């Protein structure tokens, strides 16, 4: 690798993930004279791209308005506002198309390669890097960074068991959620917000949902502390998942970490129904003559609640007919449906996408260039920053955007 033949570089990028690749390609394409090196500690680059989106890579999201786009980022939205006016999902689509890879939009606006294979994206990035003359060295870890008295940086790196130095004029740190590199970043004077998981499922053990794994409800409203999220929810073997839960986990990532993933979740199984309107529907159901002799348990009053779930939610009433339900039971049922309380007792992993919140404090970075406000010629891109999005392609988009901006800036001068 670099140790024998080339110890001096114009630009070194630590981390061969999507942010590092995007920055390297942009930089080398804009300024082909620059010697650009990516060092990647793993035995292959773009590891997360390959496993992303269930092997399909959800590259970005078909949301082309920066003002709306930032609302999908529990952390980092404000900082990304200007950045998205410079490089946003429409630019991502165009970039991949110009580099030979077409994307498609699914019904929920998530965008994937037309091949439905994450390898297409990894191969596209690797090919573009090679065409632009970027050197990629795998199995090389960044260990230490020192500002050189002559300008630029001395980097201590390790390849196999050997530790050696390389020099670079500019350094981009794009090492994702790697905890060791966060220590390096702190040694350079930056503040790093503590890393905690975002995007996870809730472990809930409760007889009302026991045995219902696979049952989905189209539109629930969830509340936890001051947070509210609505959308589809899925009951799993361990508890609750689905878009509404994942969004709540992202917005509540820090709160839940502080509470050690134990909290009370209020579920409105009827989406936006209020208690009184639910009561009215229940009353109508009771008053309806044809229903009088029908079992409550087998006759849901709301079409959005699957029968199996309804049966368990109404179990406390016993084997009664609609005609025999009391006022007290009806009120309790309306409460159960619109504000059922469930105990979150831990978190589970969402296998399609896994993200960490925390990272380099955003006001210490200039989001026009992604350059550190504290150390000249030091740049950041991707998940190493305190940015994270909800599921749907937003996390890659912030890596493309910040990588592209860093690449632009590093190519200049
Ligand atoms: C299972 C899974 C599925 C996902 N699916 C999606 C999806 O479909 N859509 C989406 O938008 N997001 C998805 N994400 C999130 C997305 O992968 C990340 O947001 C994104 O990869 C961050 O890019 P990055 O380049 O900043 O960091 P990374 O992809 O983490 O890349 C950083 C690289 O730096 C290397 N590195 C770390 N430390 C050092 C060091 N000291 N020296 C040298 N190299 C180092 C790492 O080995 C790694 O290769 C998924 C994540 C996971 C885990």
Give the model confidence (pLDDT) of 88-146 as tens digits: 999 999 999 999 999 999 999 999 999 999 999 999 999 999 999 999 999 999 999 99
Domain-wise residue ranges, the chain:
2-197+353-411, 200-349
pLDDT digits (tens, 9 = 90+) for 283-307: 999 898 888 889 999 999 999 999 9
Ligand 1 centroid, distance to 17 Cα (angstroms): 5
- Residue closest by Cα to atom 13 of ligand 1: 353
Phi first, then psi: give them for residue 89, nearest 5 degrees: -55, -35
Atom of ligand 1 nearest to the CA of 393: 11
Using the predicted structure, report yes or no on whether residue 2 has a pLDDT greater than 50. no
The yes-or-no verdict on residue 31 having pLDDT over 90 is yes
Six-digit token string for 177: 């959620």
Q: Is the CB of 10 under 6 A from ligand 1?
A: no
Instruction: List helix spans (H) across 229-318.
Output: 243-251, 253-258, 275-287, 307-313
Q: Find the 94 Cα to ligand 1 centroid distance in Å.
A: 22
- Candidate from 53, 175, 186 with most ligand 1 atoms within 8 A of CB, to mutate: 175
Asked if residue 395 has its Cβ within 6 Å of ligand 1, the reply is yes
Return the residue whose CA atom lies nearest to atom 2 of ligand 1. 353
User: Quick check: pTM over 0.85?
Assistant: yes
| C-beta 176 within 6 A of ligand 1 | yes
Whether the CB-CB separation of 139 and 88 falls below 8 Å is answered with no
Which tens digits make up the pLDDT trace of 51-99? 999 999 999 999 999 999 999 999 999 999 999 999 999 999 999 999 9
Q: What is the distance in A from the centroid of ligand 1 to the CA of 46? A: 7
Ligand 1 nearest-atom number relative to CA 60? 11
Distance, CA 54 to ligand 1 centroid (Å)? 14
Is the separation of the CB atoms in 38 and 21 below 8 Å?
Answer: yes
Burial zone of 182 (CB within 10 Å; 0-12 exposed, 13-18 middle, 19+ buried): buried
- Check: CATH 3.40.50.2030 for 2-197+353-411? no
391 lines ligand 1 (CB under 6 A): no
Task: List pLDDT tens digits, range 185-240.
Answer: 999 999 999 999 999 999 999 999 999 999 999 999 999 999 999 999 999 999 99
DSSP assignments along 150-199, one per residue: TSSEEEEEEETTEEEEEEEEEEEE--TT-HHHHHHHHHTT--EEEEEEES
Q: How many residues does the structure list for the chain? A: 413
């Amino acid at each position: 690798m670099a140790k024998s033949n080339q110890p001096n570089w114009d630009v070194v990028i630590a981390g061969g993930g999507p942010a590092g690749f995007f920055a390297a390609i942009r930089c080398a394409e804009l300024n082909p004279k620059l010697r650009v090196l990516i060092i990647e500690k793993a035995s292959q680059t773009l590891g997360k791209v390959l496993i992303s989106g269930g092997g399909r890579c959800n590259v970005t999201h078909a949301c082309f308005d920066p003002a709306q786009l930032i609302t999908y980022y529990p952390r980092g939205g404000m900082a990304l506002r200007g950045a998205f006016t410079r490089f946003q999902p429409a630019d991502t689509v165009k970039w991949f198309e110009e580099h030979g890879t077409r994307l498609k939009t699914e019904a929920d606006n998530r965008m994937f390669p037309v091949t439905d294979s994450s390898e297409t994206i990894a191969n596209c990035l690797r090919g573009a890097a090679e065409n632009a003359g970027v050197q990629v060295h795998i199995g090389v870890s960044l260990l230490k960074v020192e500002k050189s008295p002559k300008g630029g940086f001395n980097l201590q790196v390790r390849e196999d068991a050997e530790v050696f130095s390389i020099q670079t004029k500019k350094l981009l740190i794009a090492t994702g959620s790697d905890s060791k590199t966060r220590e390096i970043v702190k040694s350079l004077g930056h503040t790093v917000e503590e890393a905690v998981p975002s995007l996870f499922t809730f472990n809930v053990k409760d007889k009302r949902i026991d045995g219902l794994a696979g049952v989905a409800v189209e539109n629930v409203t969830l509340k936890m502390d001051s947070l509210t999220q609505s959308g589809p929810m899925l009951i799993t073997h361990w508890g609750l998942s689905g878009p509404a839960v994942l969004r709540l986990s992202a917005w509540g990532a820090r709160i839940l970490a502080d509470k050690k993933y134990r909290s009370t979740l209020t579920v409105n199984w009827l989406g936006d129904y209020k208690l009184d309107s639910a009561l009215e529907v229940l009353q109508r159901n009771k008053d309806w003559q044809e229903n009088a002799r029908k079992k409550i348990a087998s006759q849901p009053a709301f079409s959005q609640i699957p029968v199996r779930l309804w049966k368990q939610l109404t179990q406390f009433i016993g084997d009664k007919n609609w005609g025999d339900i009391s006022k007290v039971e009806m009120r309790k049922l309306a409460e159960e449906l619109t504000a059922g309380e469930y105990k979150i007792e831990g978190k589970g992993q969402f296998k399609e996408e896994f993200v960490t919140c925390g990272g380099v404090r955003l006001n210490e970075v200039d989001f026009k260039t992604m350059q550190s406000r504290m150390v000249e010629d030091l740049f950041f891109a991707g998940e190493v920053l305190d940015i994270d999005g909800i599921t749907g392609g937003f996390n890659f988009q912030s890596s493309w955007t910040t990588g592209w901006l860093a690449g632009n800036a590093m190519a200049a001068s």
